Chains A and B, each alone.
Chain A
């Protein structure tokens, strides 16, 4: 037994010693700090062909807020071909790195992109990799971005929608309120995003500001507003929210925008597949307005959203979003009907009384004519 114990201890010591010997030869894992030793130098650049230079500086203060860093993705998780750093060389890793393979993690997005017009453009000598739109190191959440921000950051960098939408009435208005992908990625779910606009400070209230004014937090928001607990904010409940804010001296209105959900299919954009039928949106039964959400935007670019009754779009709490026909105020139709029916009734009634009294007038005229003779 004693011999056996001695043997086990010997094996353990041998194993530990071999580890100590082997570890240095494998090198330590490459940390972001290792990369930043060189890449925090804002003058770091490399020469490209024809005298062009590529800046290799990474602003770490921006990078640390990027969605990848926040989720613990390190430099070498993406730049996977940097396996070791050899400081004996001028450049401690291969000078030319392989293209980052985003599909490795973003598989569904990659699949949706494969059959898109942007990918197909590759056949014409143009390559549009993910980072052409999403940028390199400072990728952030886009969910909370407005239509304006989403379009500026993406589509408008290459496209001028003015050149290709002459058929579209009110094109500037559409561009301002409808995200490009709503029509151009028809497979993607879309929704009306309502954001509270403070008329005093003339700014959109962030989720934190709105909740602070209401004296609640993200968990308590629905409990405070959704009084019937059906997980949908009804028109009456929205009214309560507005009144609650007014009590806190916050006066405002809800601005609406039609945006797509951030799902992989937004990458599946193809020529000729855009929705061009006006009636698809501009009717009250349109599926484009069936999903309406109040959005509580967070500083990290994400948003928490809560379902709102569609009827809210037809109310005067959402005065800055109006799709002709689609989100019309039904009460006006009733008033209009009353006006027209009223007008016609007056006319018809008057005419009928005139017809009914015609014999009496005729008799009176005859009498008068007799008298005048």
Chain B
């Protein structure tokens, strides 16, 4: 289309973090399943699964460090924080879009730009994931890596079973999240558009059509 242009949405550090994190998550989920369900699954030996899980866990922690350094270093972290004044109507609009507008062919109420790349629901979800769930997963993972070494902290949390419970519930959450995340990534203007952009950094920008439905 004539009015299409390329926008640099995903800078290199974010792409590196994203893909390291994605591959790391898949390995952590597979080895995690092996560790938890050793009697049912035989992908690796338990010993191998634990070793790989530990190494990859540290890679994911390092990647998170890159994410934090980049976003806080450039102060682009504000991308993640919803505007408290517009959050509720924006979120409702986005929910309506995913719940009905998308089926009718309405345009996405959120237009991606480098300064506003997440819609209201994404912001809400990613703030929770990046500032609560992922750190909680990393910290509990770290504690479970050396139960004896971190026993004082583990005791503060109520015991190793509590720490493990948090880790396992988040493990299930992230597994479910990956399916939903992957599906949502196919809802661009073509099924592979967002996926391609996560490799190249560039999203195709489409001018919103001046139709009645596009009006807020």
Is A283 a contact partner of B172 (Cβ separation < 8 A)? no
Nearest-CB residue, chain B, relative to A332 = B168
**Contacts across chains A and B counted by CB atoms under 8 Å:** 120
Is B39 a contact partner of A283 (Cβ separation < 8 A)? yes
Q: How far is the CA of A266 from the CA of B110 in the complex (A)?
A: 70
Find B105's partner among A321, A324, A325, A365 (CB 8 Å cutoff). Answer: A365
Q: How far is the CA of A340 from the CA of B173 in the complex (A)?
A: 7
Is A336 a contact partner of B159 (Cβ separation < 8 A)? no
Distance of A356 from chain B, by nearest CB (Å):
8
Find A335's partner among B98, B169, B183 (CB 8 Å cutoff). Answer: B169
Is B183 a contact partner of A347 (Cβ separation < 8 A)? yes
Known contacts being A172-B148, A335-B172, is A320 close to B161, with CB within 8 Å? yes
Residue B176 at the chain A interface, CB threshold 8 Å: yes
Q: How far is the CA of A339 from the CA of B176 in the complex (A)?
A: 6
Is B51 a contact partner of A336 (Cβ separation < 8 A)? no
Interface size class of A (residues with CB under 8 A): 35 or more
List B residues 188-206 near A (Cβ within 8 Å). none
Known contacts being A169-B47, A325-B38, A343-B177, is A353 close to B168, with CB within 8 Å? no
List, in ascending order, chain B residues with CB within 8 A of A346's CB.
180
Find A360's partner among B104, B146, B158 (CB 8 Å cutoff). Answer: B104
List, in ascending order, chain A residues with CB within 8 A of B145's CB.
170
Residue A364 at the chain B interface, CB threshold 8 Å: yes
Q: How far is the CA of A249 from the CA of B64 in the complex (A)?
A: 44
Distance of B76 from chain A, by nearest CB (Å):
29
Residue A247 at the chain B interface, CB threshold 8 Å: no
List, in ascending order, chain B residues with CB within 8 A of A110's CB.
none
Known contacts being A279-B39, A319-B158, A364-B105, is A350 close to B179, with CB within 8 Å? no
Is A336 a contact partner of B172 (Cβ separation < 8 A)? yes
Chain A to chain B contacts (Cβ below 8 Å), 29 pairs? A167-B47, A169-B50, A170-B145, A173-B147, A175-B148, A278-B45, A278-B47, A279-B39, A283-B38, A321-B160, A322-B161, A324-B36, A324-B50, A325-B36, A325-B46, A328-B168, A332-B172, A336-B171, A336-B175, A339-B172, A339-B176, A340-B179, A343-B175, A347-B183, A350-B98, A351-B183, A354-B102, A361-B105, A364-B105
Residues of B within 8 A of A (CB): 35-39, 45-47, 50-51, 54, 98, 102-105, 145-149, 155, 158-162, 164-165, 168-169, 171-173, 175-177, 179-180, 183, 211
